[in-house]
Amino acid sequence: SQTIHQWPATLVQPVGSPLSLECTVEGTSNPNLYWYRQAAGRGLQLLFYSVGIGQISSEVPQNLSASRPQDRQFILSSKKLLLSDSGFYLCAWSASPEAFFGQGTRLTVV
């Protein structure tokens, strides 16, 4: 069966520090991969999605970037975090119309 791993679960980072969140999927090939952010008490904002290795579509211009170095690996990065980057980050995969989500990373920028 397919599983998705996302880590870390929680993260506290100082302003200006770099960020790297990793997501990996097992049990499927060539899935679509997604990164979403959920600010406190808000909806889900699509940040990036990828339909294949090296193919990244950005939805919101900001100081975040994404990469897909392997078929089932999706990485969210930042060179310098801002306070506004705080939130709940969710990775998802899809091989059928619906997407399935990881457990999320709660990022607090201080």
Partner 1 sequence: AQKVTQAQTEISVVEKEDVTLDCVYETRDTTYYLFWYKQPPSGELVFLIRRNSFDEQNEISGRYSWNFQKSTSSFNFTITASQVVDSAVYFCALRARDDKIIFGKGTRLHILP
Closest to partner 1 by CB, 24 or 104: 104
- Please say which residue, 12 or 15, places its beta carbon nearer to partner 1: 12
Smallest distance, Å, CB 24 to partner 1?
16
**DSSP summary character for residue 66:** E
Q: Which is nearer to partner 1, 69 or 98 (CB)?
A: 98
Strands 64-70 and 44-52: unpaired
Give the integer Cα–Cα distance in Å for 75 and 8. 12
Of 11, 43, 8, 35, nearest to 108 (Cα)?
Answer: 11
Say which amino acid occupies 33.
L
In the bound state with partner 1, the residue whose beta carbon lies nearer, of 1 and 14, is: 1
Region 45-104 residues binding partner 1, contact defined as CB under 8 A:
46, 49, 51, 57, 59, 88, 90, 92, 94, 97-104
Residue 99: HSE in the Cβ half-sphere, 13 Å Cα cutoff? 15
* Residue count, binding to partner 1 (CB under 8 A): 24
Q: In the bound complex, what is the minimum distance in angstroms from residue 3's beta carbon to partner 1?
A: 13
Q: For the CA atoms of 100, 47, 23, 39, what is the dihedral angle to 10 degrees?
A: -80
Residues that bind partner 1 (CB under 8 A): 32, 34, 36, 42-44, 46, 49, 51, 57, 59, 88, 90, 92, 94, 97-104, 106
